[in-house]
Amino acid sequence: MKLHSKILIPPASFVALLFLVLLVFFFLQKKQQDLLLNVSHDLQAASALSAELTLYYLVGKGQLLQYRDDKNVSQLAQLKLTAERIEETLAALKKKSFAAQGEQAFNALLEHQARVAGIQGELITALQAGNEEAIGRVSARYFVSTEQLEVTLSDFSGQRRDDVNSALQVLQQGSGGYELLLILVFLLSLLLLLSVFIFYKKEVFKPIFALTDCAWKIAQGYPEYKPKATNRSDEIGQLNLAFRVMTENLVAANEELEKKVIARTHELERSNNELENFAYIASHDLQEPLRMIASYNQLLAERYEGQLDDKAHKYLAYSVDGAKRMQSMIRGLLEYSRAGAAEPELELTDLSHHLDLVLHDLQPIIGETGAQISKATLPSLVVNSLQISRVFQNLISNAIKFHDGVAPQIDISVKQHECETIFCVQDNGVGVDTDAFGRIFNLFERAHSRQKYPGSGIGLAVSKKLIENHGGRIWLESKKNMGTAFYFSIPHELAGVAQ
């Protein structure tokens, strides 16, 4: 069965069952309400007819007494009409359904009505005959019978009110049953919801959480972590299978990658050995011919001094200068290759002490240029002291070199950040054009004239490589003729911070 079918079936079943229970509940309630409505309607109609009947009895009694006093024949027609209305009312009451006591009261009312009607006929006959003795005797019987009829009618009306109250009590009792039924429906709903939640937790949430945990394990670098096998055939089962296939492919790819890394490592080691050999040749074999060229050119210039014209001396000077610059470039290449040849040996280093050593070594040029240097107290970090000292030496030397007749003013500062320590060497020199920011850290790249500011263009490239050996970065901020600020960082998690 597909997962979407499994997900839809429990709530659909729950809704269908709940709808069925509510439908039965409302059907039973509607049925009782209809029954109560019919009973109440009959009882109310009976009460209204009872009140109407009481009024007719009183009207008929009044009409008969008025006829006895004034002998007006029209009163007899009205009395007859009242009697017909009484019979119609009694006939309407016969159609209503009463309880046992109500039925007995109604039969008693019919008996009294027949008795009163008979005595009323005798009284009318005596009144028409003018027999005073008979009138007096029948009138006494009439009044007694009518009083008994009124009592019976009052009992019947009271019984109707009692029947209405009984019906209301039945409704209240039925409502109590409905409350119990509502509680049962509510409990059943909670039970069904709990069942649906347990189903989702077992069939949907739990396997999805397991696959999510597996995905995080893989993302954290454990490709061999596999989800447990399952025999489900739905989408989650397919996803589980896909995860297992993916982890197997990742393991195979990782093993293949490790083999390639090992092969590349061997290749890099071989290449590094070749570079070291090249550096050795550059430092010894290539420099020797250059020294010979420079020496013999100088000897030629000294021996034939005065015998050669100015142009020849100029050519010899160019040749000597070129050989010396070639030697400087070779030494720079050698230094650059050695800068990243091996992993730096790190140790806890007092950078303030090593900065003082660098400034002591630069004291001749500092005194010659009149440079003023201010420095902050530097922290102790776990770094390679020789490499960081070399970076400070290169940056301070450049700050002293690139000035335009004004005494150099150099400020060395440091800022501790959450993830790294940032050092700054700021000067008041000639500055750097913004278009040269990206290239001055390249090998042999320069931002200024070689004739005005001599040098090999190797210092910043070496500094960048030494900082990158520590996992840091180096950058600058500068404006033309407004000085330059060189920054470099040492990350805490790679180089360590002294506690």
Q: Would you place residue 184 in the very low, low, confident or very high pLDDT band (cuts 50, 70, 90)?
A: confident
Q: In the chain, list all ranges with CATH 1.20.120.1730.
A: 3-196
pLDDT over 90 percentage in the chain: 10
**pLDDT at res. 498:** 42
pLDDT over 70 percentage in the chain: 72
More confident: 262 or 336? 262
More confident: 122 or 326? 122
Which burial class, exposed, middle or buried, applies to 116 when counting CB atoms under 10 A from its CB (0-12, 13-18, 19+)? buried
CA distances from 455 to 427, 446, 449, 459 (A): 19, 9, 10, 9
Q: Over the chain, what is the mean pLDDT? A: 75
The strand ranges marked E within 287-419 are: 347-350, 372-375, 380-383, 409-416
Place of tokens 């027999």: 131
**pLDDT at res. 411:** 94
- The mean pLDDT value for 25-52 works out to 68
Q: Is the pLDDT of residue 26 over 80?
A: no
Q: Does CATH place domain 3-196 in 1.20.120.1730?
A: yes
The angle at the Cα of 232, spanning 226 to 234, to the nearest 5 degrees, equals 110
**pLDDT at res. 45:** 65
- The mean pLDDT value for 170-178 works out to 60
**pLDDT at res. 337:** 61
**pLDDT at res. 424:** 96
Cα-atom radius of gyration of the chain, to the nearest Å? 60
**pLDDT at res. 44:** 67
Place of tokens 């700021």: 426
Residue 416's φ and ψ, nearest 5 degrees, are -95, 125
Cα 246 to Cα 220: distance, rounded to the nearest angstrom: 15
- The mean pLDDT value for 484-496 works out to 80
Among 466, 488, 474, residue whose Cα is nearest residue 343: 466
DSSP letters along 271-296, please? HHHHHHHHHHHHHTTTHHHHHHHHHH
Q: Is the pLDDT of residue 115 over 60?
A: yes
| Cβ(388)–Cβ(349) below 8 Å | yes
Q: Where is 487: in which H helix or E strand?
A: strand 484-491
- The mean pLDDT value for 195-214 works out to 77
Q: In the chain, list all ranges with CATH 3.30.565.10.
A: 344-495
Q: Would you place residue 426 in the very low, low, confident or very high pLDDT band (cuts 50, 70, 90)?
A: very high
Q: Is the pLDDT of residue 499 over 50?
A: no
CA dihedral 425, 426, 427, 432 (to 10 degrees): 100
Q: Is the pLDDT of residue 306 over 50?
A: yes
Residue 378's φ and ψ, nearest 5 degrees, are -90, 150
**229: DSSP letter:** P
**pLDDT at res. 14:** 65
Q: Where is 136: in which H helix or E strand?
A: helix 132-200
The strand ranges marked E within 356-473 are: 372-375, 380-383, 409-416, 420-426
Q: Which residues contact 436 (CB under 8 A, 6 or more apart)?
A: 445, 447
**pLDDT at res. 381:** 92
| Cβ(6)–Cβ(234) below 8 Å | yes
Which range (3-12, 18-27, 177-186, 269-278) has the least confidence?
Answer: 3-12
Q: Hey, which CATH number is domain 344-495, 1.10.3730.10, 3.40.50.300, 3.40.50.1820, 3.30.565.10?
A: 3.30.565.10
Cα 60 to Cα 58: distance, rounded to the nearest angstrom: 5
- The mean pLDDT value for 439-463 works out to 65
**pLDDT at res. 208:** 77
Cα 338 to Cα 323: distance, rounded to the nearest angstrom: 23
Q: Is the pLDDT of residue 131 over 70?
A: yes
Q: For 137-164, write each residue's pLDDT tens digit.
A: 877 887 788 777 777 777 777 766 666 6
